[in-house]
Structure 1
Amino acid sequence: MILITLPISTKYYRANAAAGLISSHGNQTDHLALLAFKAQITQDPLHLLDSWNTTLHFCQWHGVTCGRRHQRVVKLDLESHGLAGSLSPYIGNLSFLRFLVLENNSFHGEIPSEVVGRLFRLRVFALGNNSFTGEFPTNFSRNLEILSLGGNKLSGTFPKEICSLQKLRKLFLWGSNLTGSLPYALGNLSSLQVIDLAINQIVDRLPSDIGHTLPNLRELLIEGNHFFGPLPSSLFNITTLQLLDLASNGFIGQVPDNMGNMQKLQVLSLSDNRQLGSSGHADDLKFLSSLNSTILRYLLLSDCHLSGILHKSLSNISFTRLEKLLLFGNQISGIIPSEIFIKLPKLTELQLGDNFLTGNIPQGIGKLSNLRILDLGNNSLSGQIPSSIHNLTQLLDLHLIGNNFERAIPNTSNLQSLQELGLSSNKLNGTLEQLFSQTSHELLYAYLADNSFTGSLPFEVGNFENLIDMDVSNNNLEGEIPNTLGKCLNLQQLSLMGNSFRGSIPPSFSSLQGLRFLDLSLNNLSGEIPMFLHNLSSSLEYLNLSFNNFEGAVPTEGLFQNASAFSILGNTKLCGGIHELQLPICPDHKQKHTDKKHQISLHMKVAIGVIVSTTVLAALLLVVLCWVRRPKNVIDQTQKTSLYDHYERVSFLELHRATDGFSPANLIGTGHFGSVFKGVILEGTEPVAVKVLNMINHNTSKSFMAECEALRNVRHRNLIKIITACSTVDFQGNDFKALIFKFMTNGNLENWLHPIASNGSYLTENLNLSRRLNIVIDIASALDYLHNHCETPIIHCDLKPSNILLDEDMVAHVGDFGLAKFLQGNSNDSGTTNSTSSFSPRGTIGYIPPGRYIQLIFHLCFQFLTYFLNCSQIINSGA
């Protein structure tokens, strides 16, 4: 063996030899090699190498082990010491070294070839979880039994030289940027017990005979690569297998059901193989019944393509030691079997979300006393949340979002460890006082949106000082926003939109210095926009105050300097702000006060104006009624609505089921761009209208995009709001596009004005003058919003009675925005207004509305209504 020459001080060796610290040339070499190693250490936070000094023999240094016979270093173990620096090549002079363990430190640079090639006695080479760079070393000792280089920054293909290490038992190369495929000769290493190649870029199939060539395999971890093809059945014949992790690859087909021999299996993970399963067959889960391991702890099958009935799949198994059961993100149907709560007593994590489960949650779930995570979200479960949830005292995460649960939330006082509560998009009701007075103050996330909660937001919410995210939007909450919310100093996201909160924004919000998202839109809040909001600009990324009753000046500092960072639409009494808002200039405060005589004179003028306006309006309405009763035989029912946010993802399959295969029996209207069907997406929910676009028409895609864009950017009680859209392919691979809206009970205005004899019987009431007046006001309000109050003015281009939808309260909604156009300018600006549309005729062929006269009448009606309302407000304010 050729030694790496080290500089030797004669005086140093004489002194240490006399003290008995150095006894031979070999000892001198080892001693100097260790000192050279220490010299390249730049960080030793635990000061563990302080013992490496002349007062102790080097065999007594921390982490150093010597052989008894020759006092030569046989083991250097400094694992997890926080050391940083480069690896000295002089380590190659430790010729008796058998164990080199430097894992979990911060070594960097290349691995010197001398460290690998010269240590022919080396059995364990463990440098994993550092920051080494460069190519993989290849000249390993033939005696190597354990090779651990995972978690570094090495590069290259899988080193084929590893296949010559016939004594190799454990191979750890996880997270090593490995590319290419595996050498075929790797399957001749029958001594291998552990293969960990997770988180690499390997592209390959698993050999079909892997169960025969690697009979001693105990752990196989290849998660996060690009393995593909079917799972070889021979793999599941390995009787020694304890851990099998094949997650996040591209395996396809059904899982073999010959797992009966794997009685030592503790972990089975096939998650995130999105082509597993057999495209809807009901027996994709039958392999579970072949699992015969009584010591199985983790069963991870999430985000695959597995179908099957949960009750049949789990009823006959008994995994008494199972801790985690993950089946979320599949196509599993049926009810939740109550047997699993008896046969799986050790469960700490049960995740069945994003499937097609139905029925109730069995009361027996309360027997899972060790449960920490329960996820049943985004299924079709119904009924009441069982009161036995109260017994899950270890629960950290309760996720029931996107189901059909109803009635009140059960008692949660025993859930003192709860950190995340997800109940959004259900049919829950009642108040929130009990929930916020009982639930653990350790709560971090509270998702309660899209339910029917009533009452106020309790002041006890201020007790949740660790709260990070709270969403109670789209409920029926009222009252003032509690000032105690300012105590939730960790709050980052808060949504109170779509309720009936009143009053001003609490001043305590100025304490929420970490707030990033605040949505208070669609409430009845009033007062001025607090100036302290602009002080939150260092954290606040988005602020929505739209559709409230705020008044006064809009701030111009902080967040309010960026028009895209906040929204104040629908607050008609605001003024000032940055130029992009185009709000009126705020009046001088002194001009708000006039003398008494001027006010009296103004009141008299207003009163006269109101009388004249009312008289003229009544006359104009009679003219309107004469014009609108013109014949028309084009029916285009496109029912739409707003608040169905829990249908976030709708597939072609779901729409096909909802409409009974788009059955003619469910057809409720046809038009130029498609047909409209009535359907029910989730059992027990309200019906929806599904507008299926006719893809043969070459303008359909443009119409689809126009309607989506228009409905996405508007929000008004008299405008149709889209639930969701579906853009995919059907069962034959053809393009499929559809828009989903709420089913409007009273159809469209055309059928009320001109009922068809064959189905006119459903019109139980006539359109009296009062009802017609309300409909006209609704339409005029919608048009005024589209033309004057949108950020970008919108022209409908196809307004007609068949596009006016009436809900259960006979409130009118303007729909069908397939021909809508956006104006690229402000209509109030001087000069010509630019528009994306041309001035060629648009709308329904063969039907021309009453033209300028009817437009003038609608315009005058709305102007008089606006004048009347303004006059009333002036009178009230001056009284």
Structure 2
Amino acid sequence: MEMKRQGRKSPVAAMSLSHSIHFQAILQHIKTLAVFVGSPTGTSSYFGGNETDHQALLAFKTKITCDPTNVFSSWNDSLHFCEWEGVTCGHKHRRVTVLDLQSRGLVGSLSPYIGNLSFVREIFLLNNTIRGKIPDEVGHLFRLQTLMLNMNFFDGEIPANLSHCSNLKVLFVAGNNLSGSLPMEFLSLSKLESLAIGSNNFRGGIPLYIGNLSSLQIFSAAYNDFGGHIPDALGQLRSLSVLGLAYNNLSGMIPPSLYNLSSITILSIPYNELQGSLPKDLFLTLPHLQWLQISENQFTGSLPVSLSNTSELRRLELDRNNFTGKLSINFGALPRFEGLFIQSNNLGSGDADEMDFFQSLANCSNLLKLDFMDNQFKGKLPNVLGNFSTQLNFFSMGQNFIFGQIPLGFGNLINLNMLRMDGNEFTGTIPSDIVNMRKLENLLLNDNRLSGTLPSNLGNLTMISILSLANNRLQGTIPSSIGNCQNLLALNLAQNNLSGTIPKQLFAISMLSISLSLAQNFFVGSLPSEVGNLVHLVDLDISENKLYGEIPSSLGSCTGLEHLNMEGNYFQGEIPTSLSSLRSIEGMDLSRNNLSGQIPNFLEKLSLRFLNLSFNDFQGKVPAKGVFSNATAISVVGNSRLCGGNSELKLPSFGSVYKGILGEEGSIVAVKVLNLQRQGAARSFISECEAWKNIRHRNLVKIITSCSSIDFNGNDFKALVYEFMPNGSVENWLHMDLEMDVEEVQIQNLNLVQRISIATDVACALDYLHHRCPMPIVHCDLKPSNILFDCDMNAHVGDFGIAKFLFELTNSKQSSSIGIRGTIGYTPPEYGLGSEVSTKGDVYNYGIMLLEVITGKRPTNSMFEGGFNLHNYASMALPDHVMEIIDPKLLNNVDEKEECLISLVKIGVACSMELPQERWDISKALFELHLVKDILHGGRI
């Protein structure tokens, strides 16, 4: 029940007015217990006095490391210490009697020399940043009556020596980091009247001896973890006025003895696991009760009718329990009554008169808050709401079974800032006088059966911040006056029958930041470009309407967006590139529109966790990185012209390769015919042409010509003609043996010499592309299926369909090729994180390809999962277990081959390191391969 310092461990819910003890009530008790001495009246010069006090104060000062309010500026020898700020001395002996430095922002620790202030009676150090332990020496202060160390950062246990302060009346250490249990020695503090220890880490149960502190009037221990039961011994505290035990993991029942403490004014035990029912005569035995807080427990039964007899009762907080039955209480007999909180119970009887208690509430002239939410109340609201106290600022009747029309009269409640009646069965129109509540901040009428139109003068609610009218039967348009609601944070009008265009004035509300939902209505027209004004908006949902036109590029200015839902409309055109600015976006649904063009590559780099592009008219190759790498996080179904992407999407490639014969000479060639129905195929054609016209190397597939023409049906035709590679690909030779008979397997087996030759040929090709051709090129898709054999089994690198020129990457953000995709298993890790392509990416491809050639295992083998991959598999085998991972076909003459195999695996591992900067350059790999070939030529195998 303590007042919590901002940022401490108190839950947000407990900070609300409905779940906090009015701290002034506690302070009022303290004022009656503690003696506050006035400012000193001594002279302005130092005459000697008690040197012990003087030195103790100076020692205190030395332990303070930060004094933001400059309180110690007066603590010098030009003034007697009795004149120092915060120090009060007795007139007779000139000894320190009061040390008051509360709320000064002091930082540091508490000097043990404070124990030398032997005449001190009151110490006020609350609300600072004093750390460390409470010194044992405080126990020397036998005259001490008030010690207030609350709201600091003291840790450790409370010193048992404090029990020597036999005159102590007020001990406040709440709001620190103290731990352990309360010392048994405190039993001797017979004069103790106020004990506040809340918001610490005390455990071990509430000590039984507390019941023997017969002078105790205030016991405040909320926000600890005492556990156990409330001791019956507390019922012995006949002077007890305030008992606060919230958030303590207490269980069991409230001891009956507590109900007999007629002196109690505040009983606060919410947020525990207490159970049982309230005695019928509870409010007769506690006649002075002002606050009863038992929220968030497991109480059952009905509310005692005797409540009507507690004339001093102000607040009744019973929410989140299991109370049942009819609310038959005459609140009109409670002249001081301010608030009733019975949310989340099972109250309600179904009787025809069960709403009659509202009549008595109209007689409570001090009424501030009413919360009936989430119960079983059923019936119509009586027409007395307009007679309630104009001080009422909170009214919640949501999640019940209230039916009929919302009665007029709310407009009289001019101070109401929360009106919540959602989740009922209200019918009729929204009362016109609601717009008279100029202080209204939260209006929730969603999930009812309201009809009619929105009030045309809705803009009169200039203080409104949360407005939810969703899931009703409202019609008509959004009034343009809504632009006057400049404090609006969240607007939900979803699931109604609203129509017309979305007013531009709505997008002029710069405060609109939590959410804007207009989903499942009949809005037409375009999405106004003014939507870009909502730069802080987190959720935007305009799905399931009849909106059309292009997605406005200004939407990219909404950089705070995390969720964007536009599905089920008639939007057309391409996804604007400006959406690349949505760096906070997590979910995007653009499905069931008429969008077209290519899926933009920038979507790979966004922080998307969910993306739905289904049932549009997108075409071309689907990106493969970012969110696209997870087939379960995206949907592209219903886009018949898409291809590529994650293999799990099962989409087709850009074209097909045919074997052909040219002219009378009968030259055999390979012809790659582009499927121009796939968006991006034409760009792939241009990319390959651009690459091939600049490169010539013995280990690159030779291009003979290209063809760009019209076919017999008048359609565009594009093809590339290559030198035919008669011996297939490395992929075929490594992995197709399962479909061949034994003789063919023996013929098609690649020996170690051939595999080293493959590795060297491909490395030569990459070294040329990266360092020696006229314009350096990154291949981007090096893998066994793109490495082909000529008639002499020399390896040639082919397929430059997604190659990149380094010059373009350096000087332009937009490349002429179709974007980097690569192939799953071979794609470098950094590409999946949005990094630009580089020669280091090709080196990674090469390293994985080399390890596949040596081990015979694809990087997509089922054994590689959960972070375990081909690189790890090979790396773990070095150097002593390489022979255990190589392709079994290479196991003949093991001893002679081992040195070469170890070297090859080392090269593959070095080239496929996870971090690009740790990978070898391809030139380094080529050099090492030549050393391996030297070993071969030297006859050492």
Counterparts in 2 of 1:271 and 1:44: CA distance versus 1, 3 Å: farther
Counterparts in 2 of 1:210 and 1:523: CA distance versus 1, 3 Å: same
Contact 1:393 / 1:414 at 8 angstroms: preserved in 2? yes
Match of 1:154 among 202, 205, 220: 202
Match for residue 292 of structure 2?
Answer: 220
- Does 1:298 pair with 2:369? yes
Residue deviations 1:556-580 (CA, integer Å, cap 9, x gap): 2222222222222222221111222
- Distance in 2, matches of 1:21 and 1:450, equals 83
- Does 1:176 pair with 2:247? no
Aligned ranges for residues 262-273 of structure 1 at < 5 Å? Answer: 262-273=334-345
* 1:434 CA drift (Å): 3.7
Match for residue 578 of structure 1?
Answer: 646
- Distance in 2, matches of 1:221 and 1:48, equals 41
- Does 1:527 pair with 2:639? no
SS of 2:602's partner is helix
Contact 2:46 / 2:80 at 8 angstroms: preserved in 1? no
Match for residue 503 of structure 1?
Answer: 573
Q: Which has the larger radius of gyration?
A: 2
Residue deviations 1:775-810 (CA, integer Å, cap 9, x gap): xxxxxxxxxxxxxxxxxxxxxxxxxxxxxxxxxxxx
- Distance in 1, matches of 2:489 and 2:446, equals 16
Contact 2:266 / 2:289 at 8 angstroms: preserved in 1? yes
Match of 2:179 among 114, 133, 139: 133
Match for residue 20 of structure 2?
Answer: none
- Distance in 2, matches of 1:435 and 1:380, equals 27
Counterparts in 2 of 1:570 and 1:66: CA distance versus 1, 3 Å: farther
Match of 2:460 among 391, 404, 414: 391
- Does 1:145 pair with 2:188? no
Unaligned runs of 5+ in 1: 1-17, 606-879
Residue deviations 1:81-132 (CA, integer Å, cap 9, x gap): 23333322322222232222233333332222333x2333333322223332
* 1:53 CA drift (Å): 6.5
Match for residue 487 of structure 1?
Answer: 557
Match for residue 353 of structure 1?
Answer: 422
* 1:476 CA drift (Å): 0.8
Aligned ranges for residues 692-841 of structure 1 at < 5 Å? Answer: none
- Distance in 2, matches of 1:232 and 1:534, equals 62
Counterparts in 2 of 1:196 and 1:49: CA distance versus 1, 3 Å: farther
- Distance in 2, matches of 1:471 and 1:258, equals 46
Counterparts in 2 of 1:439 and 1:293: CA distance versus 1, 3 Å: same
* 1:406 CA drift (Å): 0.8
AA aligned to 1:521 is: S
Aligned ranges for residues 611-630 of structure 1 at < 5 Å? Answer: none
* 1:326 CA drift (Å): 1.1
Match for residue 106 of structure 1?
Answer: 153
- Distance in 1, matches of 2:315 and 2:450, equals 34
Match for residue 256 of structure 1?
Answer: 328
Contact 1:493 / 1:515 at 8 angstroms: preserved in 2? yes
AA aligned to 1:253 is: G
Counterparts in 2 of 1:446 and 1:182: CA distance versus 1, 3 Å: same
Match for residue 431 of structure 1?
Answer: 501
* 1:245 CA drift (Å): 1.7
Match for residue 919 of structure 2?
Answer: none
* 1:421 CA drift (Å): 0.8
Contact 1:470 / 1:493 at 8 angstroms: preserved in 2? yes
- Does 1:418 pair with 2:488? yes
AA aligned to 2:264 is: L
Counterparts in 2 of 1:358 and 1:497: CA distance versus 1, 3 Å: same
AA aligned to 1:173 is: A
* 1:189 CA drift (Å): 3.5
Contact 2:574 / 2:595 at 8 angstroms: preserved in 1? yes
Residue deviations 1:3-48 (CA, integer Å, cap 9, x gap): xxxxxxxxxxxxxxx97676287x58xx75x78888888x858477
- Distance in 2, matches of 1:256 and 1:127, equals 42
- Does 1:23 pair with 2:75? no
Match for residue 15 of structure 1?
Answer: none
- Distance in 1, matches of 2:452 and 2:90, equals 71
SS of 2:564's partner is strand
Contact 1:163 / 1:189 at 8 angstroms: preserved in 2? no
- Distance in 2, matches of 1:161 and 1:375, equals 50
Q: TM-score, normalised by structure 1?
A: 0.61
* 1:184 CA drift (Å): 3.3
* 1:407 CA drift (Å): 0.9
Deviates more, 1:361-370 or 1:561-570: 561-570
Match for residue 599 of structure 1?
Answer: 711
Match for residue 319 of structure 1?
Answer: 389
Match for residue 755 of structure 1?
Answer: none
- Distance in 2, matches of 1:282 and 1:51, equals 72
Number of aligned positions between the proteins: 576
Aligned ranges for residues 448-467 of structure 1 at < 5 Å? Answer: 448-467=518-537
Counterparts in 2 of 1:57 and 1:163: CA distance versus 1, 3 Å: farther
Counterparts in 2 of 1:90 and 1:288: CA distance versus 1, 3 Å: farther
Match for residue 122 of structure 2?
Answer: 75
- Distance in 1, matches of 2:482 and 2:493, equals 13
Contact 1:158 / 1:183 at 8 angstroms: preserved in 2? no
Counterparts in 2 of 1:171 and 1:322: CA distance versus 1, 3 Å: farther
Residue deviations 1:797-826 (CA, integer Å, cap 9, x gap): xxxxxxxxxxxxxxxxxxxxxxxxxxxxxx
Counterparts in 2 of 1:512 and 1:263: CA distance versus 1, 3 Å: same
Contact 1:547 / 1:571 at 8 angstroms: preserved in 2? yes
Counterparts in 2 of 1:163 and 1:426: CA distance versus 1, 3 Å: farther
- Distance in 2, matches of 1:572 and 1:211, equals 73
- Distance in 2, matches of 1:108 and 1:44, equals 19
- Does 1:187 pair with 2:226? no
AA aligned to 1:174 is: A
Counterparts in 2 of 1:37 and 1:45: CA distance versus 1, 3 Å: closer
Contact 1:311 / 1:334 at 8 angstroms: preserved in 2? no
AA aligned to 2:628 is: F
Match of 2:170 among 116, 124, 127: 124
AA aligned to 1:134 is: G
Contact 1:124 / 1:146 at 8 angstroms: preserved in 2? yes
- Distance in 2, matches of 1:451 and 1:66, equals 75
- Distance in 1, matches of 2:257 and 2:716, equals 101
SS of 1:125's partner is strand
Match for residue 86 of structure 1?
Answer: 133
Residue deviations 1:747-773 (CA, integer Å, cap 9, x gap): xxxxxxxxxxxxxxxxxxxxxxxxxxx
SS of 1:430's partner is strand
Contact 1:166 / 1:191 at 8 angstroms: preserved in 2? no
Match for residue 371 of structure 1?
Answer: 440
- Distance in 2, matches of 1:39 and 1:308, equals 69
- Distance in 2, matches of 1:61 and 1:413, equals 57
* 1:495 CA drift (Å): 0.8
AA aligned to 1:506 is: P
SS of 1:428's partner is strand
Unaligned runs of 5+ in 2: 1-44, 98-118, 226-247, 657-671, 677-681, 683-705, 718-941
* 1:330 CA drift (Å): 1.6
Contact 1:395 / 1:417 at 8 angstroms: preserved in 2? yes
- Aligned-residue RMSD, C-alpha: 3.2
- Distance in 2, matches of 1:311 and 1:212, equals 30
Contact 2:61 / 2:72 at 8 angstroms: preserved in 1? no
* 1:360 CA drift (Å): 0.6
AA aligned to 1:23 is: N
- Does 1:563 pair with 2:634? no
- Distance in 2, matches of 1:288 and 1:173, equals 36
- Distance in 2, matches of 1:417 and 1:368, equals 15
Match of 1:246 among 318, 338, 343: 318
AA aligned to 2:152 is: N
- Distance in 2, matches of 1:457 and 1:248, equals 43
